[in-house]
């Protein structure tokens, strides 16, 4: 019988906290009954939610904390105030102590990155973490990174992102040699900044056996699934993510407005209801929720702060998959094959 996957949850994280985290864990448990949970936060709030989910309660342990990191705390403030005593820190620390296999939080992104980096430390050869997520495309799913863990990066940092993203794609999609593209303003060799062109040269020269570098990918190539892994630095990656989420919401609003405009359109909607539901599911950001901090000596998953229970369950699912597919071992193996994946000093996190 396989070993249980031990999942530590920051039950106070996000815009709502335990009333989303606990139901989300209950949903994920139905999909992964070989999970068990360590729940960190206000025990009274957690226990009240657990009473509604007896199956989850049977496989959970509750750890009371008196401090919760707020969504507007600066990373430095969160470290000073919440180090060792907050629900976020204790969930991460459980991974460090090997009491949990993965930590999941919907809390403040900058604080989560700072605490994760401080508590778990970086892998050898990696200077700073990257936020990587599954991105739905017209040909399946891709891994996109960095989505805002840090700003900027030189060519060696981009190369390291390619290596780590390939490991994640390999673990998630069962690919022996994922295709990798660098996000750029054009596919021509002379396009883009110096660091992007240099990163392309490094990846071509390295000819790494664990990834297939295909060159530059333009912004519209993300949604087309131009590569299994799309690499960019955190500033442009975060803008791409927020733009895509905003476009999905805008499109959904246009669709609702159009369907309600006339009685003919309402009738047409009834005939095409299943097709519209499939479309809604495809562009629902909750169903692609859960980004992984890569480069740490432990697995930490960041959920959207405003997600619902279904969305938080998907974030837990991502963490479960990373553990079951042995993400850390895959990244370490790839880095050991390519010891040159050293990066420049980190800059401030994107909030």
Over residues 301-338, the pLDDT tens digits come to 999 888 999 999 999 999 999 999 888 888 888 777 65
Cross-strand pairs, 105: 302
Cross-strand pairs, 73: none
User: 93 in a domain, yes or no?
Assistant: no
User: 262 in a domain, yes or no?
Assistant: yes
User: 231 in a domain, yes or no?
Assistant: yes
Question: Average per-residue pLDDT in the chain?
Answer: 86
pLDDT at 338: 54
Candidate from 34-48, 73-87, 129-143, 307-321 with smallest mean pLDDT: 73-87
Higher pLDDT, 93 or 290: 93
Give yes or no for residue 87 having a pLDDT over 90: yes
Higher pLDDT, 200 or 248: 200
Question: CA 13 to CA 125: how far, in whole Å?
Answer: 31
What CATH number does the domain containing 214 carry?
Answer: 3.40.718.10
Question: CA 252 to CA 274: how far, in whole Å?
Answer: 15
Q: CB of 269 within 8 A of CB of 276?
A: yes
Question: CA 117 to CA 140: how far, in whole Å?
Answer: 31
User: 118 in a domain, yes or no?
Assistant: no
pLDDT at 350: 46
**pLDDT tier at 276, thresholds 50, 70, 90:** low
Mean per-residue pLDDT, 198-207: 91
Segments forming the whole domain that contains residue 199: 130-287+332-351
pLDDT at 217: 94
pLDDT tens for residues 88-141? Answer: 999 999 999 999 999 999 999 889 999 999 999 998 888 888 999 888 888 888
User: 307 in a domain, yes or no?
Assistant: no
pLDDT at 332: 83
pLDDT at 41: 95
pLDDT tens for residues 146-157? Answer: 898 888 888 999
3-state secondary structure of 63: strand
User: 24 in a domain, yes or no?
Assistant: no
3-state secondary structure of 51: coil
Angle, vertex CA 295, rays to CA 289 and CA 301, nearest 5? 25
Query: What's the total number of domains in the chain?
Result: 1
Residue 216 — φ and ψ, nearest 5°?
A: -85, 150
Give yes or no for residue 227 having a pLDDT over 70: yes
> Between the CA atoms of 193, 196, 201 and 207, what dihedral angle is there, to the nearest 10 degrees?
-170
pLDDT at 28: 97
| pTM summary value | 0.84
Measured from the Cβ of residue 309, the count of other Cβ atoms closer than 10 Å reads 18
User: 75 in a domain, yes or no?
Assistant: no
CA distances for 292 relative to 177, 189, 224, 300, angstroms: 20, 31, 22, 6
User: 259 in a domain, yes or no?
Assistant: yes
């Amino acid at each position: 019988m396989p070993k249980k996957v031990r999942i530590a949850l920051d039950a106070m994280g996000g815009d709502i906290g335990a009333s989303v985290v606990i139901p989300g864990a209950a949903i994920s448990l139905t999909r992964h009954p070989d999970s068990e949970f360590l729940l960190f936060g206000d025990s009274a709030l957690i226990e009240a939610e657990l009473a509604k989910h007896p199956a989850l309660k049977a496989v959970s342990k509750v750890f009371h904390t008196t401090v919760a990191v707020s969504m507007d705390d600066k990373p430095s403030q969160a470290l000073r105030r919440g180090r060792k005593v907050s629900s976020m820190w204790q969930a991460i620390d459980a991974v460090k102590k090997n009491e949990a296999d993965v930590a999941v939080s919907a809390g403040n992104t900058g604080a989560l990155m700072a605490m994760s980096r401080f508590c778990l430390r970086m892998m050898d050869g990696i200077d700073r973490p990257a936020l990587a997520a599954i991105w739905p495309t017209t040909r399946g799913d891709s891994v996109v990174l960095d989505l805002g863990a840090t700003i900027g990066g030189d060519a060696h940092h981009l190369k390291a992102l390619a290596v780590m993203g390939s490991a994640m794609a390999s673990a998630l999609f069962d690919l022996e040699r994922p295709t990798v593209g660098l996000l750029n303003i054009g596919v021509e060799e002379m396009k883009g900044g110096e660091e992007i062109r240099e990163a392309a040269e490094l990846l071509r020269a390295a000819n790494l056996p664990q990834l297939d570098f295909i060159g530059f990918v333009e912004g519209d190539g993300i949604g087309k699934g131009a590569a299994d892994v799309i690499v960019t630095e955190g500033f442009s990656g975060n803008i791409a993510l927020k733009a895509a989420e905003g476009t999905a919401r805008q499109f959904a609003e246009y669709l609702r407005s159009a369907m309600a405009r006339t009685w003919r359109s309402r009738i047409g909607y009834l005939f095409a209801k299943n097709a519209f539901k499939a479309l809604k599911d495809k562009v629902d950001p909750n169903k692609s929720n859960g980004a992984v901090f890569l480069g740490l000596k432990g697995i930490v998953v960041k959920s959207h702060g405003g997600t619902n229970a279904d969305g938080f369950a998907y974030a837990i699912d991502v963490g479960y998959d990373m553990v079951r597919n042995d993400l850390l071992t895959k990244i370490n193996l790839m880095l050991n094959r390519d010891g040159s994946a050293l990066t420049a000093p980190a800059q401030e996190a994107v909030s």
